[in-house]
Structure 1
Amino acid sequence: MSIEITVLFDVVPDRLADAADAFVDLCAATRQEEGALRFDAWRSEEHENVIVLVEAWADQAAIDLHMKEPYVADFLAKVEGAYVRPPYVHRLRPLAA
């Protein structure tokens, strides 16, 4: 079974354009990873400054490897200080589990 994750990022309004660009780059690079089944960033229609990351991974090893990629460190440096509060991570499981 894959690992499903969503992450909500409440972005400081004047950093939104730069953060969105950083997410686009991160998604493009991450989608090339073998264990990345899905990695998409979305804008919330209800909350103007919220970016939602939707991820699916083959396993925990793929996530661990992803977090060691140089472009992840680059992304984190680009978005440092860009959030109103820490990202809100949801690691999901089926209701029947």
Structure 2
Amino acid sequence: MGKARLLVELDIKPNAQASFAEMFQAQFIARSRREDGCERYELWREADNPARMTIIEVWSSQQALDAHLAQAWFAEWAPKMEAALSTPLVIRTMVSVED
């Protein structure tokens, strides 16, 4: 079974951009990168639209991604993320053209 790759597109409320990025780095990125199977976990911001952010995730397997999503802290943090959004997030499951 191949790697699991996600692009998660976020539109952040204008008054929440800085606090969201800080909280995401401290709570979500730091924890996720320590999990087994996490190969890449980054938050990117569009250069011309700082309210538009994208999470880029690469996991060694679908099982590793499933374990990540099942973490207790993930359920605690998700409402904080949703409160900062101006529109529903978009999750795109990706595959490499090299696979």
Q: Tell me which protein shows more helix as a share of its residues.
A: 2
1:80 to partner: Cα distance: 2.7
> Unmatched 5+ residue regions in structure 2?
none
Q: Deviations over 1:34-59 (max 9, x none)?
A: 11111111111121201210100111
Q: Is the CA contact (8 Å cut-off) linking 1:40 and 1:53 kept in structure 2?
A: yes
The amino acid across from 1:42 in the alignment is W
Alpha-carbon distance in structure 1 between the residues aligned to 2:66 and 2:47: 31
Q: Deviations over 1:3-56 (max 9, x none)?
A: 221111000111112211221020010000011111111111121201210100
Q: Is the CA contact (8 Å cut-off) linking 2:9 and 2:54 kept in structure 1?
A: yes
Query: Which TM-score applies when normalising by structure 1?
Result: 0.87
Structure 2 counterpart of 1:10: 11
Query: Which TM-score applies when normalising by structure 2?
Result: 0.85
- State the number of aligned residues: 97
- Name the SS for the 1:56 alignment partner: strand
- Name the SS for the 2:86 alignment partner: coil
> Unmatched 5+ residue regions in structure 1?
none
